[in-house]
Structure 1
């Protein structure tokens, strides 16, 4: 195991933040898996999972069993982790710019298209290597202007040539769930099984350029752009990435983090990145994959105290009472009902909302939304 510390661009005199990565196996020896936690810095379950995963990887590496390459970034956002306002963590948005730490990543497909359009041949594997080299060149030439840009650049330098990227997040309150692009689902379906996903949401592109889709989306977007130009050189999906939502913000417990880490380690064994005598069996799926465009977000039509009628993880039917908004001044209760059949997979932690606030999400099977599918 090797530890690498990556200094970020200093935002002010006397201030220097550092991103740390832990490297297992040998670069170029086989499948590369990149795992990071808490890019939204107030989402802490991933850091505890990384804490439990690291000794498993260290032991495997010491025994020579990491036959591919694994990079673990147990705390992916030192900027957000240091942000607090009135004693409350502010790890989702950078305070200087109000930008979401998990949005606005570069369009790698557009960046490398001029570099590779005349360099690809008939060998798909060689084409993947060519594109990865071009991505690395683009990222090394990118001169960040802010601390936030330097963080984004460093995360991409560590992950751009990975075969699999696992980005560990969590919701406000929820059950284990899983987001990925449609092009990645066949390869990542085992991950959803090992972690016990209760809602698996697929989209061709969810919009707003999050970290995971910056990496996986580059490949199918580049392939589409090449075909549009009449270039039919084979280009496999060189990176499959996913956002894993490890339940809710308060679900920071060893009793969950330890088996979650073991599940990720079992996936690495199943995928052949960590050698073992008897590879783990693939668990049964706990849910069917559904379109992210079929996920209904419930919103508050008025201000008041939030009273949920269902717990996260429950299956609900269209028309079911989901939430009531209580106004104790007027003595009213405003009901909000489910608009789709599906799993109520996440909801807010706050119990007072203003008009228009998000309340919760139901994973439905029938797509009905268009445009950007992710929230802020």
Structure 2
């Protein structure tokens, strides 16, 4: 049987000086295997991942695990509780405006220095253990610095300490009004075939502050440096992904079960279970490189009807949305059609019907292609 441990991590204190805790669910198998870290709701309005983790907990009570799986639902209770009327304003730290998902640690010079110090007789497991210790020590030093840290960065670093121990990291998110999609580093594109997610964004090994990048960038950089140094291919087997589970501010237990099985299929392919109990669905997966994942901005303000639904293919010149201008209701200027500048797949759109000029109206796939098992 798996060993189950429930712990609590203090991530902040409120203005009354009381600790704000998040639960950690640990499932440890009887046989060795990969370590997995999964978190949800780093942005407070993105709540569907909590339902996914609920279903994962139910499955992991009985599935024979190899290795360890750590689940951290609702990892940002501060963001979840920032409400304005009917809406959750949980994307940014309200004190200093920092994005809750942009305060993780990465130091490329540190990785380069570490690579120079690795000797030729050190094994891959020894290198991984030593590298993890060094990165986690650097994170702890930042947490303990006497000048302190902003709330968002402190939260991020505490979570990163947990995540950096893992071989596979999944960060569960939601778009505003969105279809399922996943961010996948280019080197791990084959892994996208193990998830039941039809839309794939291939991202370069460049750190922009998010948790997935803070996980795979150090390992990929070290891999490249040591492969060149030893004149042989080195693979540390560490991968990280951002999964967008649909729309924010809503949950669905049925969808949560579907996405939990999708994650279990991925973990099964990575050796987390004694048997391959879960298989990915046979489905068409459409991919795009990050530079072709485009934002369509509104040229005018007004009230918008979103005609293109998330996941829908829209041909060049077809109408994506219609804008109503209440200052000109008496003539033909009352409505304006916003058309697709090229063939696109609408992935998500702005959640409100009221928009200012320059609003990010849609995010779309352009120059997309079908993803195959091998590049």
Normalising by the residue count of structure 1, what TM-score does the alignment of the two structures yield? 0.86
The structural deviation recorded for 1:294 is: 0.7
Q: For 2:202, what is the secondary structure of its paired residue? A: strand
- Report what 2:319 is aligned to: 321
Q: Counterparts in 2 of 1:172-321, with a 5 A limit?
A: 172-186=176-190, 188-192=191-195, 195=196, 197-205=197-205, 208-224=208-224, 235-276=234-275, 279-321=277-319
Distance change (3 Å), C-alpha of 1:234 and 1:133: farther
The structural deviation recorded for 1:224 is: 4.8
Distance change (3 Å), C-alpha of 1:218 and 1:137: same
Q: Counterparts in 2 of 1:11-26, with a 5 A limit?
A: 12-25=15-28
1:363, 1:273 → 2: CA distance?
A: 32
Q: For 1:325, what is the secondary structure of its paired residue? A: strand
Aligned length: 357
Q: For 1:31, what is the secondary structure of its paired residue? A: strand
Distance change (3 Å), C-alpha of 1:110 and 1:71: farther
Q: For 2:261, what is the secondary structure of its paired residue? A: helix
**Residues 116 and 131 in structure 1, CA contact (< 8 A), matched pair in contact too:** no
**Residues 304 and 323 in structure 2, CA contact (< 8 A), matched pair in contact too:** yes
**Residues 7 and 17 in structure 1, CA contact (< 8 A), matched pair in contact too:** yes
Q: For 2:316, what is the secondary structure of its paired residue? A: coil
Q: Deviations for 1:221-280, whole angstroms, at most 9, x for unmatched residues?
A: 34456689x67675425421111111112541112112222222233233320223x543
> Which of 335, 343, 346 is the equivalent residue of 1:344?
346
Distance change (3 Å), C-alpha of 1:271 and 1:233: closer
Q: Counterparts in 2 of 1:93-242, with a 5 A limit?
A: 93-121=92-120, 123-144=123-144, 145-146=148-149, 147-186=151-190, 188-192=191-195, 195=196, 197-205=197-205, 208-224=208-224, 235-242=234-241
Q: Deviations for 1:175-225, whole angstroms, at most 9, x for unmatched residues?
A: 111112112222x22333xx2x22100110465311111111122234456
Range 129-138 or range 155-164, more displaced: 129-138
Distance change (3 Å), C-alpha of 1:18 and 1:12: same
**1:70 matches 2:57:** no
Distance change (3 Å), C-alpha of 1:359 and 1:289: same
1:85, 1:281 → 2: CA distance?
A: 42
Q: Deviations for 1:143-189, whole angstroms, at most 9, x for unmatched residues?
A: 25233333112111111021111111111112111112112222x22
Q: For 1:14, what is the secondary structure of its paired residue? A: coil
**Residues 29 and 68 in structure 1, CA contact (< 8 A), matched pair in contact too:** yes
**Residues 161 and 239 in structure 1, CA contact (< 8 A), matched pair in contact too:** no
Q: For 1:59, what is the secondary structure of its paired residue? A: coil
- Report what 1:8 is aligned to: 11
Q: Deviations for 1:80-139, whole angstroms, at most 9, x for unmatched residues?
A: 122223453111101011001111321144344434521243644443333222222222
Q: For 2:157, what is the secondary structure of its paired residue? A: helix
Aligned-residue Cα RMSD (Å) equals 2.5
Distance change (3 Å), C-alpha of 1:38 and 1:28: farther
Range 28-37 or range 38-47, more displaced: 28-37
2:341, 2:192 → 1: CA distance?
A: 28
List alignment gaps of at least 5 residues for structure 2. Answer: 370-375
Q: For 2:173, what is the secondary structure of its paired residue? A: strand
**Residues 111 and 221 in structure 2, CA contact (< 8 A), matched pair in contact too:** no
- Report what 1:373 is aligned to: none
Normalising by the residue count of structure 2, what TM-score does the alignment of the two structures yield? 0.86
List alignment gaps of at least 5 residues for structure 1. Answer: 368-376
Q: Deviations for 1:349-373, whole angstroms, at most 9, x for unmatched residues?
A: 2111001001111112269xxxxxx
**Residues 47 and 251 in structure 2, CA contact (< 8 A), matched pair in contact too:** yes
